[in-house]
Structure formats: C-alpha cells, structure tokens
Chains A and B, each alone.
Chain A
C-alpha cells in the first residue's frame, strides 16, 4: 500500500512538471478553413516538421482566443471564414496583439442544394428544363420570417417554379456558413416591399418550412434525401466531394463551379482568411514555413484545390504573397 502511494506521488509529480517553450504551432478558428489547414499541417508533418495543432472553434471563437494576448499560451494563427470584424480588431488591440498579418487563402462558395436524384417536376408531370434556378430574392422569400406573404410552395413565390412545398435545412447560428449566408443572401436578397413593419431581414421563419440543422453535413444529406424537394445549405467542398448525393441549385442562372466562385460570378461566394500573430514569428519554430506551405503553388494548385479550396485570382494572390514576404500589418 505504501509503495503504491509512493508510486502514485512520483507519477503525479512527473506528470505535472510544467512545460516551458511550445515547439508546435497552435491554430484555432473556422470549421470551414479547418479541412484545408489540416491538409497543410499533415503535409508539414510528412516533411519531418512538428505538426501544428489545429482546433476547430468556429470563426468567432477563434478571434476571441487569438486576440487574448501574446505569449506561448495563446494561439499563433486563427482561421476565419470571414474578414475580422472591427470589434474583434479592437479586442486584439486591447489584448496587446497589435501586429496582425491577414492572409486571404482562397474562396468558398455556399451551395443551395437538393438530393442528387431528385427531379424538379411541375404538377402536370413535365420536368423543369435545365434544373431549378433560384434568385437570392426568391430564396429570401422562402426563408424569411418577416416576409408578409409566408409562401408554402415555391409556386407561390414565382409562377415558373413548381408546386413543391418549401423545406429548407439551414445551419445553426454558431456556424460561419450561416454568417456568410445571412450577409450574402438574406441581407442582399431582402425584398423591402414584402418585409413586415420593423421586420428583420435575417430572421429565419419558424413555421416548419425552415429548420435548423447541426454542424454535421450528413444530417443535411439525410434530410434532403428523405424529404424530396427539400434544400440544404452546404459549403462548396462538401458538394464537390459528394456530387453523387447532393446537387446544387443554380443561383441567378449561374451554376456553382470553381471558376464561378473564383471570379465571384457565382453569387454566393466568400473569401477565406487566416490571421498571423506577428509577435510569434521567430518565436514559434516553423510558423512561417506553415504559412508559406499554405500559399505555395504546390498546395493551392494541388492538394488544396483537390479538397475543394477555390484558388485566388492571380492579382489577389500576388497581393497576399507580398503581404507575407513583407510581413505587413493588414490594418
């Protein structure tokens, strides 16, 4: 018994010896950027470097952790599926994180998708020519709580659409995809004439036609395959990886595609970012190696492209590379 206690005491002491320097990169932030960041991390690890630790905390959570301060207990990089908000920038300044490099890593599109084997048919049995095509305004009308018409079928929104009941599964408020969808579709597609007095453009209807899913894409797939004619909201990388299960609707007549997202001709596209804490460059080994690997041609035209990260246009890319090599603050 005494020996056991001694052993436990020694082991406990051994276990709690404090850590001094951190020799790996610590990354937090967006779950949309996460799959790409992890690919880069794995590439680094395969080259014999210490693999960065990447946490998927969501964009907002990432900025909060990132801005908390300078020092090894704080993360070096935060991923973000939107630009840093002014509020967050101020938080960083208050936390002593004054020098930040912004890196735009690529673009992402949001797909408004339905089950791949579903055919859009009118009540007379004729199929819709060329698949379904929606405008942002139509999507807004279908989803907004404060739309005074409150349509139940797509036909009620526009006569060219079939009489199929509106059913949409939307991401939860914690998701970066939801943030982007709200600002790109709900805000831009908001039809002021239909809005009830003091209405909120971004509020989703609560009468069962729009339901909130979780963060798990598989749940959305299950929903749209079970409920025929239902839509789900997905990131482009999921749609491109699972094209046998889901198919994206055209938006304003544009089909979702890599090129469309790159030049923003596809209307629901957004840039993806990560932010580097300048004070940690040179302190945390391999930090700039990670950054350079992320923006290298091997990555952006190779494995990241395969994973569904849409490349930047050449002009944007040049600006990003310039910012990295000069380590310029973005603000």
Chain B
C-alpha cells in the first residue's frame, strides 16, 4: 500500500520534472526560431531591395566614328586620339537615335543616357582604333531614371508631373524595349567604380578599398600591441593592485561607446598631431584604439588556454622566461589570438560613428591608393547613399549592405577556419 503511494509520488514528480524539461526545450526552440525569423526577415528585405543593383540597363546606340567629326585621321597617334572630339560623335549619335527628332525631343532623348556615355564611346574607340569611319552598334549605359523605371522601382502609373520621365520619354523607352534595343546586364560599375552623384555609375570600389586600408592600419597597430600587452599581463606582470586595476579597465574600455574614440581621434590625432583628415591612417588608428581591448581580452584567453606544463617543461630544461613564452606559449596561442583579432577587425569594419568624427564621411569620387589618401569606408558609404535624394541610390545602399555582410561573413569564416585548422586540443 505505502509502497504504491510512494511510487505514484515518484512517477508524478518525474512527470513534472520531465515536463519542465520539455518546456525549457520548447522555450529555447522558440527563442531560436524567433531570432532566425528576424534574421531571415532582415536578409530578405535587404536582398529583395538590393539585388536589382547588381544589374544595370544598357541601350544600343549607333555611333558613327566619322573622321571629320572626330578631327582625327586613321594614322593619328595615340595622344591625338585621346583628344578626339568624342562629345560631337555622341551628340550626333543621340540626334539620330530615333528618326526625325525635333530639337526639344533630342533634349528628352539625351536624358535617357548616362553622363558616362561620352567616356564609353571614347573607350570603345581607343580599344578598337580601326573602327574609324565606320558605324558601330555600341551598348552604352542608360540613365538611372530609365534603369529604375525598367526595374519597376519608380512608378509609371502616376500623372506626368509626378514622374521623372515624361510621357514622350516613356514612349521612347517602350519603343526601345519593343525593338530590343535595351537590356539588363551585370553591373560591373558597382564593383569597379568609386562613389558618384549619378546612381548608374556609382560603385563601392572606393569605399571598399578605403575599408581595406583602414582594416590594414587597424591590424598593423592593434595586433602587435595587443600581443605585447596580453603576454606581459599574462606572463610577466606581478599580480598586484595596479595590474588588477589595469585589467578591470581593459574590460571597461571594451564597453566604451565607439563615438568616444572618434572624439579622441579628433582631439588628439587631428588637432594635436595634425594627421590628414578623412584618411584611412587616422580612421584605422581610431578603430585600432577601439578594438584593442577586445583583442587583448581574446589574446589573454588563448594564452591562458595553453597548458602551464609546456612552459614549465621549457623552463625545466633551462630556457629563460622570455624564451619559454615566445618559443612555446605564444606560437601555441597564435590561432586563438588571430581569431580574436579577426573578430575585432570585423567589429571595426562595421563601425561608423568614430569615422564621422574624423571626417571619413566625405564624397570621394576617386579610388584611394594609399593610407594617407582621403577615402570613405563601406558603412559610411551606405549612410551617404541612404541620404541621397535620387531614387537609384536606394537599391545601391541595400546592395552595399550586402557587400559589407558578405565581407563580414568571409572574415568570420576565416576566423573559424583558423580555429579549426590550427587550434590544438589538450
């Protein structure tokens, strides 16, 4: 009798416990699903908005490379060719784009083409000088307004005065579509050009290089300092009040808002040391200060993970402390420190606030070639594009977000690879 009651109690208790267990599993699962759903939603909005930016609209244009118009002869030197009157060739080509265009129509047709068309006509000729005195069919870049219309990003069912393209221009575009004189191709400009005020020729190459130079500076500055600091703190420093204070403050520094480092950069690097504004050198230095605590914490953790027996073994056979640390401990901890550094760099890549303070939020139409050349960075580029009034920049900013996400993803992948490949298990 008693026995069965006790048994019942145990059973019900077990049921309760396993129910609790189930519930907890269920909570965890929902939390994960929820965060996954948010992530998918985020990625979906970005991708659905941005994928069109990887395509550009091009138009077939018949260009007559007449030597009279160009003011060139078939034997002109390369230098003369550079100075050919290509804008006149373009003007002619646009005038003959549709048969029988009036003066005002020509003006309207001209607005269907990108500002870059002059250059494309010129480049085509310089690549193929033998086309002189012939008529060529060239695919040239269309204006962003046409591009956005064909991609369905701007509406055509609204009254004329609320559209960028008027009724006549719309009919031209329709005619082009019908005659297959317009198509969408991969947008190479997005990856090869720097920022531009014309959405159709704006690209991320400039800001990508800027980000790369900035990260390079961050790595150069923060990696050696972080290793030095963490090796000293972990292996050499006496354990007393002062080092304790330093340790606590390193953790505190890791949590300081990034804009504070921007202000520091503005006050010290720009105003005291007079380093040039808007350059990756300054941006990288500021971000290095910002990421240093993160990297130091990661480095110390990986140094701590090396078993003391290895160091002690080295010491036992007569190595000095420095030798033991640098020949044995540091190399073994290197994969972990590199992983920490890469995660720190990834954090620096996405940072905008400190860069605004030191003037990296600037319009720079050239691709930077060095650390001391002014440049933008990817997150700042996104900010600048989102701000722009032209419709074409909306898809561009979403696409730039995709680029930065892929960049981040790759950096994290490298970190995971390094960890898996080189990390030793004891």
Known contacts: A42-B197, A241-B389, A308-B389. The answer to whether A15 contacts B277 by CB under 8 A is: no
Let me know if B387 and A215 touch, CB within 8 A: yes
Docked complex Cα distance between A235 and B389 (Å):
10
Choose from A1, A8, A73 the contact partner of B277 (Cβ within 8 Å).
A73
Residue of A nearest to B217 (CB): A15
Let me know if B274 and A34 touch, CB within 8 A: no
Chain A positions within 8 Å of B366 at CB level: 45, 50-51
Known contacts: A116-B162, A215-B387, A216-B387. The answer to whether A56 contacts B361 by CB under 8 A is: yes
Let me know if B365 and A238 touch, CB within 8 A: no
Known contacts: A8-B224, A38-B197. The answer to whether A53 contacts B158 by CB under 8 A is: no
> Is A315 in the interface zone, CB < 8 Å from B?
no
Choose from B158, B277, B389 the contact partner of A217 (Cβ within 8 Å).
B389
Known contacts: A15-B217, A15-B371, A35-B197. The answer to whether A53 contacts B386 by CB under 8 A is: no
Docked complex Cα distance between A303 and B359 (Å):
27
Chain A positions within 8 Å of B274 at CB level: 73
Choose from B224, B361, B362, B371 the contact partner of A5 (Cβ within 8 Å).
B224
- A244, chain B: closest CB distance, angstroms: 4
> Is A16 in the interface zone, CB < 8 Å from B?
yes
Q: Could you tell me which residues of chain A, from 187 to 221, have a CB within 8 Å of some CB in chain B?
A: 215-218
Chain A interface residue number, banded? 35 or more
- A61, chain B: closest CB distance, angstroms: 10
Choose from B216, B220, B362, B389 the contact partner of A242 (Cβ within 8 Å).
B389
Choose from A54, A73, A237 the contact partner of B389 (Cβ within 8 Å).
A237
- B366, chain A: closest CB distance, angstroms: 5
Let me know if B364 and A51 touch, CB within 8 A: yes
Most buried by B among A1, A18, A24, A42: A42
- B108, chain A: closest CB distance, angstroms: 13
Known contacts: A12-B220, A308-B389. The answer to whether A41 contacts B363 by CB under 8 A is: yes
Interface string of B49-85 (1 = CB under 8 A from A): 0000000000000000000000000000000000000
Let me know if B220 and A53 touch, CB within 8 A: no
Residue of B nearest to A2 (CB): B326
- B124, chain A: closest CB distance, angstroms: 17
Overall SS of chain B's interface? loop
> Is B183 in the interface zone, CB < 8 Å from A?
no
Interface string of B313-346 (1 = CB under 8 A from A): 0000000000000100011000000000000000
Q: Could you tell me which residues of chain B, from 96 to 147, have a CB within 8 Å of some CB in chain A?
A: 115, 119
> Is B163 in the interface zone, CB < 8 Å from A?
yes
Docked complex Cα distance between A24 and B198 (Å):
22
Let me know if A243 and B162 touch, CB within 8 A: yes
> Is B276 in the interface zone, CB < 8 Å from A?
yes
Known contacts: A12-B220, A22-B276, A116-B162. The answer to whether A35 contacts B362 by CB under 8 A is: no
Chain B positions within 8 Å of A57 at CB level: 359
Docked complex Cα distance between A11 and B146 (Å):
47
Q: Could you tell me which residues of chain A, from 15 to 62, have a CB within 8 Å of some CB in chain B?
A: 15-19, 22, 24, 26, 28, 31, 34-35, 37-39, 41-42, 45-46, 50-51, 53-57
Let me know if A216 and B386 touch, CB within 8 A: yes
- B305, chain A: closest CB distance, angstroms: 19
Residue of B nearest to A14 (CB): B371
Docked complex Cα distance between A24 and B279 (Å):
13
Chain A positions within 8 Å of B372 at CB level: 17, 19
> Is B179 in the interface zone, CB < 8 Å from A?
no
- B206, chain A: closest CB distance, angstroms: 10
Let me know if B391 and A54 touch, CB within 8 A: no
> Is B154 in the interface zone, CB < 8 Å from A?
yes
Interface string of B361-387 (1 = CB under 8 A from A): 111111000011010000000001011
Residue of A nearest to B274 (CB): A73
Known contacts: A34-B363, A41-B365, A56-B361. The answer to whether A244 contacts B162 by CB under 8 A is: yes
Residue of A nearest to B161 (CB): A243
Chain A positions within 8 Å of B275 at CB level: 18
Chain B positions within 8 Å of A1 at CB level: 326, 330-331
Most buried by A among B270, B390, B394: B390
Let me know if B365 and A244 touch, CB within 8 A: no
Chain A positions within 8 Å of B220 at CB level: 8, 11-12, 15
Chain B positions within 8 Å of A18 at CB level: 275
Let me know if A38 and B363 touch, CB within 8 A: yes
Docked complex Cα distance between A160 and B277 (Å):
55
Let me know if B391 and A242 touch, CB within 8 A: yes
Most buried by A among B158, B197, B371: B197
Q: Could you tell me which residues of chain B, from 248 to 307, have a CB within 8 Å of some CB in chain A?
A: 270, 274-278, 281
Chain B positions within 8 Å of A242 at CB level: 389, 391
Residue of A nearest to B158 (CB): A244
Docked complex Cα distance between A24 and B363 (Å):
13
Known contacts: A11-B220, A53-B363. The answer to whether A42 contacts B391 by CB under 8 A is: no
Ordered by A's residue number, 29 sampled pairs between the chains whose C-beta atoms are within 8 Å are A1-B330, A11-B220, A16-B281, A18-B275, A19-B372, A22-B276, A24-B374, A26-B278, A35-B388, A39-B197, A42-B196, A42-B198, A46-B119, A50-B366, A51-B364, A53-B364, A53-B374, A55-B359, A55-B363, A116-B162, A237-B389, A238-B389, A243-B162, A243-B163, A243-B164, A244-B162, A244-B164, A247-B162, A308-B389
Q: A11-B220, A16-B281, A53-B277 are in contact. List 10 more A-B contacts (CB 8 A).
A: A26-B277, A38-B197, A38-B363, A50-B366, A51-B365, A53-B278, A116-B158, A216-B386, A235-B389, A308-B389
